[in-house]
Structure 1
């Protein structure tokens, strides 16, 4: 599969999880839309863009398991989450129940809005190692109080790569009358996603990570009962439109002035590429590589796995606990000397070396990493055993 991608062949690329990687056929489609836009910008934006967008949304709706009129494209989940938070109208004393495994940008965004509302963001501790789904559920719900109004958590943690039991959490939250907001940035294309089955109130995910879309392609799903309360993050022509469409929700959210949405319009090509290349089978092979190597790397670094080594907790990423005296220097050394692109993830005072396996990766890539770590252990003091 490497021949389909634009990645630098001199780099061992083990960081698909951060920003993905776009195959050549999809990138060519991206450029084709940009060229069509520039050939006749007015006609494209006023006459053709809406039809292209409709096709893209209908294809994505089938892929993620929801109605095409219940979501809109965003450049990233941070944009999506800010859109939600702006409309919640939190009061002093309200609590948002989350975990201490969330993406750092989301922690900061909640802190920003809580400072202005007087609400409290609860980063409930999910202890490591995780031993069972039941442990996660018990520890998470121990943070619930009468003041809890909102549940916010990632379905797959960026730092630890752990899969969280979202369906069970959303189910109990509904029973308690809580609003559920799910950050599924790492989900589409990595594990199966059916939003209707999960039944959250809000769900955001990316296409430019594991679905291989061009950068800046994500979405925000909003359950129908919450669509009218959602204010636009950017107010434009769609607000109180003189030519309203069939959905005020989409009028408000999709019309934001001139912006380049070629990444969104590539969605049909993205899904075609996945289907033509039998991506479900390839993803399973990637998960096998992840699982088969996890214990081996923990043994090398003298640490323990974060969870049971099964597909119930891990997919195409794994985070290896690592004791390092300088995480930044370690990451730089791996890149500059060994030509390995891999993150050293900080979380709650600990560090994790997170490898991602996509279809262009192979066991040989992890052998490169393994030998590099052996050399670093033997020749430096950056890794503490």
Structure 2
């Protein structure tokens, strides 16, 4: 058939039906809360503006507080403050951020922390590695293995850690620090996902490994305010990020892709000024799911436990603005869609799954509750 010929309605339908799911970008912003809640929520402990949860293999967890404290917490709510935590620049969105347990923890006792550190040339996001001495209740051999270059910026630090399924590489989100143009600058770490060896060195198979500085560690580009990063059971890496006024995104992260911020967004500036939509710039990767109105996503995990078998493979996302826990089902390729949303009555900052399959959430408040979710009777 010549290109100038008009396709029949049947042919057009066939093409649409054959199009891959990744061609679709789903707006889940107008979804309502689920009418029933399949879990009971028990308050276990309270913290001062908690930010992140990370489980140890034995079921205890590490919890960070944004002002700078780190706690070891047992399943009954017993809290031990861990000494030798790093000094942080705590204000607004900045402070002590993520904590992650190394894949080789059983051998090394290594844990990783992200935080915004003070400096004469401005604050910067830092990634540190230390050995947890849970008997003495302190961090040993704390060392920064990566710093945001150049320093400076305001809020929106990112700072979320994810380990590759092979246990040999570390991924880290870096926000634009409220300097949008930096997200498209290859010499600035802001607005990027970076990939490192566990010791902070450059993997030789990174897209820019033959370069130096920021390009050598850059995995993807064009991000705004990413507070969720996790691997799905099939090995794909997913991330969500906050947009300005509408357009929060949930993206499958693919090496070398540019996700468009600030050139495109499915939202608008806070002033109401328009931003070109993703569909106007096909060279940028579009989100699998976006939210207008926003949910302000924070925290991300994929469910692989046994307590909620119907959730297996789903993404669980905390929501600050909508005060919710959101479940997103993952399809083939880039396909994803919100399946359920539960009213939590509080801003949910992080969500994690314990070894026994229970889901734990923390609230962005002072006091912010640490809550355990188990199947409703």
Instruction: Using structure 1 for the length normalisation, give the TM-score.
Output: 0.24
Higher relative contact order (CA 8 A, sep 6+): 1
Identify the structure with the greater helix proportion.
1
Please report the TM-score for the alignment, with normalisation by the length of structure 2: 0.24
